[in-house]
Amino acid sequence: MIAENVRMILSALPDGVILVAAAKTRTPDEIRQAVAAGVQIIGENYVQEAADAFGAVGHIAEWHFIGHLQKNKVNKAVPIFDMIETVDSADLGARIDRECAKLGKVMPVLVEINSGREPQKSGVLPEDAEQLIRALAKLDHITVQGLMTMGPRFGDPELARPYFQETKRLFDELAALGLGNAKMRYLSMGMSNTYRIAIEEGANMVRIGTKIFGERQGK
Ligand SMILES: *Cc1c(COP(=O)(O)O)cnc(C)c1O
């Protein structure tokens, strides 16, 4: 089932759109099945869960962190991940930079945008993104590679479209500014129920869990 889902999704994605398999709550065996079917990037939300899964399956694909990264977990996250998609403060960026310096590693990161302006959600407000990226661009051990957004959750995926549009607009504006070492290469938006709309609005990275692995129990 997982293999079939992965093949269906991959065959329908337009060229240049990258699939991240959102693997929270999934077992090492489920992750292996997804990778065997063609998944090249695994997304994880929780550092301890990622450490366990990584310990079991190893670097069989790239690992992206897509959850809210607590500052006291940065040291544990940095050795595992190939990209952190959810940087939303200069302080978090500086901590990642410091841990990467210890390992002689340079971490690609995306800046998470709170496109829905939801107070309880993580991400930087769209109007604060430029200043944050200018600060992050000064660090030697991280490289900004683009933006990520979740957007508010709706029953009707069509309602997510304006938030993807706004994030794409911001992505293009930032790309035109030329912000030092920061690049606007990846725009990560869209999940199982919204990824088609996100792609129509310019996403080139989509994070899909349920449509690959089935419904989740709990979180
Ligand atoms: C869980 C999750 C996804 C995937 O959600 P599905 O609806 O299962 O496809 C994508 N992005 C983030 C940040 C997630 O936490």
Per residue in 117-136, pLDDT tens? Answer: 999 999 999 999 999 999 99
Does the beta carbon of 66 lie inside 6 Å of ligand 1?
yes
d(CA 160, ligand 1 centre) in Å: 14
* 48 within a domain of the structure (yes/no): yes
**Residue 167: both structure tokens together:** 């994030």
pLDDT for position 217: 80
The CB of 45 under 6 Å from ligand 1? The reply is yes
Residue 214 lies in a domain: no
The answer to whether residue 77 sits within a structural domain is yes
Token pair belonging to 210? 């349920």
**Domain ranges, residue 123:** 43-194
Distance 176 CA to ligand 1 centre (A): 29
61 close to ligand 1 (CB < 6 Angstrom): no
Q: Tell me the per-residue pLDDT of 77-110, one tens digit each, with 9 for 90 and over.
A: 999 999 999 999 999 999 999 999 999 999 999 9
The answer to whether residue 9 sits within a structural domain is no
- Name the residue at shortest CA distance from atom 12 of ligand 1: 66
- Kindly state whether residue 96 falls inside one of the protein's structural domains: yes
How remote is the CA of residue 180 from the centroid of ligand 1, in Å? 31
Q: From the alpha carbon of 211, which atom of ligand 1 is closest?
A: 9
pLDDT band at 218 (very low <50, low <70, confident <90, very high): low
DSSP string, 30-89: HHHHHHHTT--EEEES-HHHHHHHHHHH-SSSEEEE-S---GGGHHHHTTT-SEEEEE-S
pLDDT at site 219: 55
Question: Is there a domain that residue 199 lies in?
Answer: no
pLDDT of residue 178: 87
Instruction: Answer whether 126 contacts ligand 1 (Cβ < 6 A).
Output: no
- Name which residue sits closest to atom 13 of ligand 1, judged by CA: 66
**Residue 53 CB less than 6 A away from ligand 1:** no
Q: Extract the tokens encoding 1.
A: 């089932």
Judge if the beta carbon of residue 150 lies within 6 A of ligand 1.
yes
Whether residue 174 lies inside any domain: the answer is yes
Positive or negative torsion for Cα 151, 154, 157, 163? negative
**pLDDT tens digit sequence for 29-69:** 999 999 999 999 999 999 999 999 999 999 999 999 999 99
Identify the CATH number of the domain in which residue 152 sits.
3.20.20.10
* Cut 0.95: pTM above it: yes
Alpha carbon of 164 to those of 84, 131, 147, 174: distances in Å? 20, 21, 11, 15
**Ligand 1, atom 7: closest residue by C-alpha:** 192
Mean pLDDT rounded to a whole number for the chain: 97
Q: Measured between alpha carbons, how far is 72 from 17 in angstroms, rounded to an integer?
A: 33
> Residue 122: CB within 6 Å of ligand 1?
no
Query: In this structure, are residues 127 and 171 in contact, taking their beta carbons and an 8 Å threshold?
Result: no
**Number of domains into which the chain is organized:** 1
Coil/strand/helix, residue 137 = coil
HSE-up (13 A, CA, CB side) for residue 28: 11
Report in angstroms the alpha-carbon separations of 8 from 17, 41, 97, 174: 14, 16, 38, 34
Find the length of the chain: 219
Q: What is the mean pLDDT of residues 2-8?
A: 98
Q: How many CA atoms lie within 13 A of 83 on its CB side?
A: 25
Q: Extract the runs of DSSP E, i.e. beta strands, from 70-204.
A: 83-87, 107-113, 142-149, 186-189
67 near 87, Cβ under 8 Å? no
pLDDT reported for residue 65: 98
Whether residue 142 lies inside any domain: the answer is: yes
At 166-205, the pLDDT tens digits run 999 999 999 999 898 899 999 999 999 999 999 999 999 9
Counting from 1 in the atom list of ligand 1, the atom nearest the Cα of 192 is 9
Is 76's pLDDT higher than 60?
A: yes
Closest by alpha carbon to 103, among 69, 78, 72, 71?
Answer: 78
